Amino acid sequence: MKKNLQDKYSDWYKYISNDFLSHRKEQFLSIAYQASEAILNPEVRSVLEFGIGRGSTLALVKHFGIHHKGVDFNDQLFTPDTVSTIINYKDSEKYDLVCAFQVLEHNPKETIVEHLEKMKEFSNKYIYISVPFSGRWISINININLFPRRSFKKNININWQRVFKKVRPIEEYMKRENKDKYNPHWWEVGDKNLTKNDFKKLVNSLDLKIIKSFHNELFPYHLFYLMETKNEGVKS
């Protein structure tokens, strides 16, 4: 695909602008959450993002003058600063926040620890991720404004894990012919043998502390974890 920001009729532009389509508006809140930790946290002045995708988070973070380095293995669709996977990435610099949003699940479950360890290697303090949640939820948004200066806003989000948890066809994933174009979710939190508690145990095994864990209340499929490392790095 030709990367031409001026050609709004090109296939590449249509794909890269997909975040802004009306049917994805609930998911767009996830982009705000992805950027907000870097923007609002006074301790974060530099960000390393794995899997920059369409670059919406990158654009927001850079707009606020925060140093951002983007890494992605796909430079045909995307425009990363460095072309690499998480596991193969090398860098002499450390960053205040190392993040990956909706990325880790595109690799086998057995590699979760390896990927988080690699991210921890480049972090001064924080690791921030989002992963898919295969559970069930009810999300209700109430916004009432009947009188001047009198309004009521409330979001009710109830989520739970499946009673009959999903088992993914891993053997079929391994047999797929075009492994570059078709990269499935090898796991999701809430699957059989990977409950929220199982995922928390994996994080704790790496000497990471979960500071925040929350769902996008409008699109609870996206589950966020902000973790603190105990690395004694030098602030970048």
* pLDDT at residue number 89: 97
Q: How far apart are CA 29 and CA 24, in angstroms?
A: 9
**Type of residue at 77:** L
Q: Is the pTM of this model over 0.85?
A: yes
Instruction: Indicate the residue type of 8.
Output: K
Q: What is the pLDDT of residue 29?
A: 95
User: For residue 233, what pLDDT is reported?
Assistant: 46
- The pLDDT score that the predictor gives to residue 181 is 60
Taking the C-alpha atoms of residue 195 and residue 223, their distance in angstroms, rounded to an integer, is: 12
Question: What does the pLDDT profile of the chain (236 residues) look like in tens digits?
Answer: 446 667 888 888 888 888 889 989 999 999 999 999 999 999 999 999 999 999 999 999 999 999 999 999 988 888 899 999 999 999 999 999 999 999 999 999 999 999 999 999 999 999 999 999 999 999 888 999 888 778 888 988 899 888 888 888 888 888 877 666 668 899 999 998 899 999 999 999 998 999 999 999 999 999 999 999 975 544 44
List beta partners, residue 136: 160
Using DSSP's 3-state secondary structure scheme, residue 72 falls into strand
Q: Which domains does the chain have, with CATH numbers?
A: 11-228 (3.40.50.150)
CA–CA separation, 96 and 234 (whole Å): 9
User: Cα(144)–Cα(1) distance, rounded to whole angstroms?
Assistant: 45
The pLDDT assigned to 3 comes to 66
156 bridge partner residues: 140
Amino acid 128: pLDDT: 98
Give the pLDDT confidence score for residue 105 in this predicted structure.
Answer: 96
| Radius of gyration, alpha carbons of the chain | 19
Say how far residue 26 (Cα) sits from the centre of its chain: 15
Q: How far apart are CA 97 and CA 66, in angstroms?
A: 11
Given a contact cutoff of 8 angstroms between Cβ atoms, the answer to whether 56 and 123 are in contact is no
